[in-house]
A = this chain, B = another copy of it.
Amino acid sequence: MSDRDSESLLFLTDEQLRRAIEAMFFAYRGFTADPDRILAERGYGRAHHRAIHFINRSPGTTVNNLLAILGVTKQSLNRVLRSLVEDGLVESRVGPRDRRERHLYLTETGAALEAELSDAQRTRMRAAFREAGPTAVSGFREVLEHMMDPDLRRHFAAVREDR
């Protein structure tokens, strides 16, 4: 980034920043709207979605890993996981090396719901990206990364390096 660009950013008024803050608020609502509808049909909430999402992203992840990523207490996560296991969407296997650990996997049913949820979310995301154009998309991702807490960003970056 050049000095000239830096300078121009100084002209971002508080009012413009306030608008960006509101955009974030309204956009997040849009972002969660479709999954929320699907989840509500099945008596689940966003907490279930988050668990399903990250188990799908990292099959075999442990409960502790999930806690760190989600930033909730184990009591809170446990409540959600229990219902997902009872309903046959998630499988909890005793750790092969360390038998205290539970490794989490989506069942076929769980993977089906995950697909439905992320299809809906991807469809909206893809539409927004198409309308905004590729330059906007890379700017979007750039800004989002810089908005994360460093700790959260680590979890985010971790996957990138996995591949």
Contacts and interface: CB of A to CB of B under 8 A. Distances in A.
Interface of A: 1, 5-6, 8-9, 12, 14, 17-31, 33, 50, 53, 57, 71, 118, 121-122, 124-149, 152-153, 155-156, 159-160
A115 to B, nearest CB: 10
A151 to B, nearest CB: 10
Q: Which of A8, A122, A130, A144 neighbours the largest number of chain B CB atoms within 10 Å of its CB?
A: A144
Please tell me how many copies of the chain the complex holds: 2
A1 B1 CA distance: 24
B148 A127 contact: no
A126 B156 CA distance: 21
Given A5-B133, A28-B28, A71-B29, A20 B149 contact: no
A129 B21 contact: no
6 contacts: A8-B134, A22-B53, A23-B144, A27-B143, A28-B28, A139-B142
Given A12-B126, A139-B142, 12 more contacts: A5-B135, A17-B122, A20-B140, A23-B141, A23-B145, A26-B148, A27-B148, A132-B143, A132-B146, A135-B139, A136-B142, A139-B143
A128 to B, nearest CB: 4
A9 B141 contact: no
Given A28-B24, A122-B18, A149-B30, A5 B131 contact: no
A137 B134 contact: no
